[in-house]
Amino acid sequence: MTTAADSDPEKLWLETPLIHSPHISARLNCNVYLKLEHFQPGQSFKSRGISYFILHARRQRGPDVHVIIASSGNAGLAAACASKALRLRCTVFLPEGVDASTVEFMKREGAEIVTAGKIYLDASRAAEQAVAADSNAVMVPAYNEPLLWEGHSSMIAELTRQLPNKAKPDAIFCSVGGAGLCGGVMLGCKSVGWDDVPVVALETTGSSCFYQSLALNPGAFSTTTEPAKGVRPVHCDKYDVTVAHLPTLTSRATSLGASSPASGSVRMALDRKGGIKSVCVDDELAMQAGLLFANEHKILAELACSTTLVPAYSRELFNKLVPPSTSGDPRTVVFVVCGGFKISVMEFDEYRTIVESKLKRQTHWEVLCNGEQWKIAV
């Protein structure tokens, strides 16, 4: 089975490996597969949707189109790599403080770099002004765009070919920030006839715009709730959903750092047959998952990526999210290891210290899922 993006003859992303994890499978007593998106040209899943968007821009605007994007890292890398492959001019607007290795990677791919402001929103406003002043320019969106979701959906078409016996999984796990990846997963599932497959979307409590948006709309949780303190609800007429706008972001998982999610992804989550399980975890729990994953699989996962892996290291949490079958048949699940360039051995050393300190002071983790609060043993 394919999607429109998956069958595009000019697609620029790679069909990434799907590997069986004997370590996680044994721990969870099921068949666990890892979709390894860090092998993409830009080292994250963003190479799919962003390159697909840029490819369409070149087709519509011609070879002189000027690609402009605001980013704190991974989206800019994806745009730089795609633009280089298509021989297009690319300018990346960054906030202050982006790691030097990330900037150097973009420059090696031929991108022009402009530093604008202290936060992503400052960079985004400067990028929009640059687009307005350049008739050849196009603004590449970060996550709120159907073409991005279509590009990201290609990974689901790949899963239909890669899973043994073309089996339909019992769940797909992914991280969620602005909900571009999650939107792609849901769209891909619908395209290949997997709309009944549960999607588990994980984010950190300090960047929970998707969770809080779902909570404001009837259908996802058992009851709708009032906005959390400081959260501004905004209704989107196009998709007929209410979206939460967060006043601040406190999570260190900066790649999940969207103040509001894609309204179209919220709509898909509310409408899909298989529903969605929206989960919030502490930064420290995501750090712990990243450390354990690195020890088992010898892969450094950015904090946004290791958020996805939290249930892989807690059988108690995993069984709550994907209950064992009454028939006793083994469960088959996929974790989207979404990748990301913004990680280092030095950061992992810091995470280890933070996690060790946290574990001395508590006996359980608090996890939110679809309006419920669970206590999960450490």
The answer to whether position 3 is within a domain reads no
Do residues 106 and 251 both lie within one domain?
A: no
Q: How far apart are CA 156 and CA 175, in angstroms?
A: 15
Do residues 222 and 329 both lie within one domain?
A: yes
The pLDDT tens digits of the residues spanning 248-279 come to 889 999 888 888 999 999 999 999 999 899 99
Specify the pLDDT at position 2. Answer: 73
Do residues 195 and 315 both lie within one domain?
A: yes
Residue 139 pLDDT grade (very low, low, confident, very high; cuts 50, 70, 90): very high
Do residues 37 and 67 both lie within one domain?
A: no
The answer to whether position 264 is within a domain reads yes
Specify the pLDDT at position 167. Answer: 85
Q: Using alpha carbons only, how large is the chain's radius of gyration in Å?
A: 20
Question: What mean pLDDT, rounded, does the chain reach?
Answer: 94
Specify the pLDDT at position 353. Answer: 96
Domain boundary, last residue among 120, 145, 170: 145
Do residues 84 and 34 both lie within one domain?
A: no
The pLDDT tens digits of the residues spanning 62-95 come to 999 999 999 988 999 999 999 999 999 999 999 9
The answer to whether position 4 is within a domain reads no
Do residues 157 and 139 both lie within one domain?
A: no
What domain range is 191 assigned to?
18-44+147-377
The answer to whether position 312 is within a domain reads yes
Do residues 282 and 356 both lie within one domain?
A: yes
The answer to whether position 5 is within a domain reads no
Do residues 256 and 319 both lie within one domain?
A: yes
Residue given tokens 């765009």 in the structure block: 145
Task: Give yes or no for residue 165 having a pLDDT over 90.
Answer: no
Domain boundary, last residue among 123, 145, 167: 145
Residue given tokens 């051995």 in the structure block: 345
Task: Give yes or no for residue 180 having a pLDDT over 90.
Answer: yes
Do residues 39 and 86 both lie within one domain?
A: no
The answer to whether position 169 is within a domain reads yes
Do residues 289 and 332 both lie within one domain?
A: yes
CA 80 to centroid of chain Cα atoms: 19
Q: How far apart are CA 113 and CA 132, in angstroms?
A: 18
Specify the pLDDT at position 285. Answer: 97
Specify the pLDDT at position 354. Answer: 95
DSSP 222: S
Structural domains in the chain (count): 2
The answer to whether position 10 is within a domain reads no
Do residues 155 and 184 both lie within one domain?
A: yes
CATH number at residue 264: 3.40.50.1100
User: 149 near 265, Cβ under 8 Å?
Assistant: yes
Domain boundary, last residue among 89, 123, 145: 145
Specify the pLDDT at position 342. Answer: 87
Stronger pLDDT, 1 or 198, i.e. the higher one: 198
Do residues 279 and 141 both lie within one domain?
A: no
The answer to whether position 310 is within a domain reads yes
